[in-house]
Every structure is written in structure tokens, then in C-alpha cells.
Chains A and B, each alone.
Chain A
Amino acid sequence: MFAIRRVASWLLTAIVRHSSAESRSWANAMLREMDFVESDGTALFWALGSATALCRHSISQRLRMGFDGCREALSLKDMARRTPAILSGIAVAAVVLTLCILALSSLIHASWFEPTQGRLAERLLVVVVPEAVYVVSAVALWRQRKSMALGILAAGMILITHAIVHFATHG
């Protein structure tokens, strides 16, 4: 019977060790109380019940933290603070796309350019190159200018969606 109590004690000790900072005090409280449980079988059920309670507490804490994080991210004040940076990201993306379109235009009017290569050049310069620039710049800016990177990525998403719809309908 002593082995059962040892298993119960080992289980709760392991849970105390792995519990979050918020739950640790409660986990310790349950562990201490187990010393006062008379029978070994009851001690094991005490440990199992405590483990369940701590898991539920830990999950609910994490969910609450997640919801609070989302709420904070979506708050109006925060959106107002981020909007200029997001718009500047979209503006940067628009400038990149304009430069690509100008490059395509000058390429098409070049004397050495083969008209049969027009479709390929169009796809490369209006979709592939800008998208590559957007992804690289968004990755580079992500840590220090996250909002701007988000603006660039949003523009990239709009462009790729437009391109997919365009190629699907016009071939």
C-alpha cells in the first residue's frame, strides 16, 4: 500500500514542478494536504483530482491570456496607433508595384523585346518580382516595424488575389 502513496506523491510533485507560476501555489497547497489524507487509496484519488484541477486551471488561464491578448491587439486605440504604419507599408508596396509596371512598360517598348515573351514578362514583373520584394521586406521589417510589415503583406495578399482572379478569368 505504501507504493500507492509514493505514486500519488510522485504524481503531484511532478505536477508542482511543471505547473505555471500562477498555479504553483495551488499545486503546492494540494501536495501538502496529501500528507494529511489517511488512506493510501484516498491519497491517490486526491492526487488524481488535484492533477485534473490544476490542468483545468492552467488551460483556463492560458485561454484567458489568449483572449486578453487578442482583445488588446484589436482595441481601437491600438488600431489607431498602428494605422499610419500599416498605411505606409501599403504605400511602399504600391511604389514597388508601380516601379515594376514601369519596368514592364519600358521592356515591352524595347526594340529587342520579343512579343511572344510578353505574357511571361508580365507575370514575372507584375506578380513574381513584387511578391518576392514584399515577402523579403516584410520578413526584414517584422521585428522592428511589425505594423509596416503587416501593411506590406496585406498589399501582397491583395495583389496575389487579384492576379489569381485575373489569370483565372483571362487565361
Chain B
Amino acid sequence: MSSRLRLSPQTIQVFDAFLEEPKDWRYGYDISRDTGLKSGTLYPILMRLADHGLLETCWETTEAGKPPRHMYRLTRDGLRSAREQVRSYAMRRLQRADFGEVES
């Protein structure tokens, strides 16, 4: 782990997308569509998660002639971290809503 993971709201969105089907492998473009994040935002997050060992990546095996796609899935540490972070982010939002900072 080279540096501390920055947990932006976009990272939480990505965690949310992975937590919908935690055991499934996901494609980059599908995550982009689910979260509404552009490739320039999504991929740096995926790279950081992979650097921190929270995300595993693999190339899809396809029949001959069809180019493979890169797939992503949270590791066991990634799943634990994602659940914690999503929960604490929701708590923070609730607390801020209580103080009238967030309208939701």
C-alpha cells in the first residue's frame, strides 16, 4: 500500500455499485453506466483500489477473434472496507442532514 486511500463520494458510488452483486465480476463500462461516472473519474478510482489491494482484476476469456474485456471485483479486504465506508458515509450524511447541512 503506497498511500492512504482517498474516499471521495465518487469512490463510495463505486463501492455501492460493487456491493450490489459482491461476488460478480464487473466491466468498466457497466460500472460507469451504473454510477454515472465518466471514464476519467472511474478508472483512477479503480486503479487506486487495485493499488491498495481492495480490487482484483482479470481479463475475460473469450472465444477466438473476440478481444477480451477487463473485469473487476472487490477482494475480501475490499468488501469489508467497502461495507464499512458506505455505512460510515451514510451515517455522516444523516448527521449532516440532522444539522440541516444536507437536504435529502
Contacts and interface: CB of A to CB of B under 8 A. Distances in A.
Counting chain A CB atoms within 10 Å of each CB, the highest count among B27, B29, B67 belongs to B29
B29 A50 contact: no
Contacts of B28: 29-30, 33
Interface stretch (A41-49, A72-80, A88-96): A41-49
Interface in B1-48: 2, 27-29, 38-44, 46-47
A32 B39 contact: no
Contact of B2 (A35, A56, A64): A64
A37 interface: yes
Interface residues of B, number: 18
A56 B38 CA distance: 15
Nearest to A36: B29
B69 A33 contact: yes
A118 B38 CA distance: 75
Interface in A15-66: 25-26, 28-30, 32-33, 35-37, 45-46, 48-50, 52-54, 56-57, 64
Interface of A: 25-26, 28-30, 32-33, 35-37, 45-46, 48-50, 52-54, 56-57, 64
